[in-house]
Amino acid sequence: MDNIVVKRQLLSFDDQVKFGFFGSDGWGREPITKKLEIPDNVIGIIFPFPEAELCVTLFTGDVAIGHAHANIWNNYLTQLPVNLNAIQNDFKEININKFVTLLRSVYQKGKELLVTFNNHKIVHRCGLMVLSSYSNMGLATMLIDKSDELLKEKGFDVAIVKTTNIYSRKTFEKNGYKLFFAFKLEEFQIPINDEYCILYKEL
């Protein structure tokens, strides 16, 4: 699309809500959040917040249609357990606890990459989303490319990402990311034939 503008900026939570990144055109269409009926306010606070200088957003006119967020890996490792504990204290629904249990396992497995990439500067890709009305236009690949370019400029040499479904995993693999580990959702009593994956790329 010729009218797409790439901006190196963070899309705030309020703007994500405004432009539809939560709800049926965004997070609400993800198989795991849809099946577990995870509320938008849980999604909005469960993951560590991105670093403004590590984010890329796609616009058409004044409308944001896609974003790629990232934060420093060690910041993610510090903040996620705090967020998960807060979620479990505030929300007692079984489905939310299933989601938290999955994320704790992903977190523990992801820490093993610290051994693999000791003495590397690691960045954590903490969110990539293209609104469904703009899907199948190559925008996810554009976001990955532009984001990787930015992260490399910032001095990072390894990027780690977690994907919530196989389709997203394949998108990252097509763009040079390698699978580290795949969690079968059914093993966490989540009745979806899908995977939550950890991937990495040396930038």
Q: Could you please report the per-residue DSSP string of 24-82?
A: TTTGGGSHHHHHHT--HHHHHHHSPPPPGGG-EEEEETTEEEEEEEEEEHHHHHHHHHH
Give the pLDDT confidence score for residue 190 in this predicted structure.
96
Average pLDDT over residues 51-76: 95
- Count of C-beta atoms within a 10 Å radius of residue 109: 14
Spatial contact of 117 and 49, defined as CB atoms under 8 Å apart:
no
pLDDT of residue 77: 94
Structure confidence at residue 1 as a pLDDT band (50, 70, 90): low
CATH placement of domain 4-156:
3.40.630.30
Distance CA(87)–CA(46), nearest Å, equals 7
Cα–Cα distance measured from residue 94 to residue 100, given in angstroms and rounded to the nearest whole number: 10
Q: Which SS3 state, helix, strand or coil, does residue 199 take?
A: strand
Q: Find the range with the poorest average confidence among 22-31, 68-77, 122-131.
A: 22-31
Mean pLDDT of 28-54: 89
Q: Is 117 helix (H, G, I), strand (E, B) or coil?
A: coil
For residue 22, the model assigns a pLDDT of: 85
